[in-house]
Amino acid sequence: MIYIAVGSLGFLIIHLFDIVAIKKIPRAKPIIWSAGSILLVYALVMLSLQSNTLPLPLWSVGVGWILFGTAFVIFIYALFINLPFRKTYIASGAGDKLVRNRLYTLVRHPGVLFFTLVLLSLILISHSYLLLIATPVFILLDIVLVVIQDKFFFVRMFDDYNSYKKITPMLLPNRQSITAFINSIKQA
């Protein structure tokens, strides 16, 4: 259970990232982001290595690896390629422009969607009982984080965020956002 607490602490530290961005505290963004991410990744690795195992069939490991590979690549793309890396994670202040293309036409927070798939794939791969317990906690913390970002931070960081909210769903794609996503890919 200690690793669930460590991962939760990682989410809380990551939440400070938006405050640091708004306050424009020099050099704090990469430190805050790295510290929170390291704690969360450490917790996930340790939870995956726990010896209490779920009675899942052997084929679930193969399915888990396929799901993990796909979800992890898309998760990394959403957070570190689709978003301008330097402006988002290193430079002081908030990014100068709201990203509204590719995965960000599908949902406003694609990281949540693909992080959830990464967690589910890790359960299939590791068969970890403790990871099964931690997953809903981490998903809930991630959703709480993006709700706070959506309501309090992003509207202050980006002038056109309210219009973006009207067009793009928060977490689950709809028919309109899927069409916009496909068109965004075609234009790229």
Q: Which tens digit of pLDDT belongs to each residue from 15-58?
A: 888 888 888 887 888 999 999 999 999 999 999 999 889 999 99
- Provide the residue count of the chain: 188
pLDDT given for residue 87 in this prediction: 82
Please determine, for residue 91, whether its predicted confidence score (pLDDT) is greater than 80.
Answer: no
Task: Supply the DSSP symbol for 93.
Answer: S
List domains and CATH numbers for the chain.
2-187 (1.20.120.1630)
Backbone torsions φ then ψ of 22, nearest 5 degrees: -65, -40
pLDDT given for residue 138 in this prediction: 97
Backbone torsions φ then ψ of 181, nearest 5 degrees: -60, -50
- Answer whether 0.95 is exceeded by the pTM: no
pLDDT band of residue 96 (cuts 50, 70, 90) is: low
| % of residues, the chain, pLDDT over 70 | 98
How far is 162 from 151, CA to CA, in rounded Å? Answer: 10
Please determine, for residue 124, whether its predicted confidence score (pLDDT) is greater than 90.
Answer: yes
User: Which of 78-82, 93-97, 100-104, 137-141 bottoms out in mean pLDDT, i.e. has the lowest?
Assistant: 93-97
Say how many Å lie between the first and final Cα of the chain, rounded.
44
pLDDT band of residue 176 (cuts 50, 70, 90) is: very high
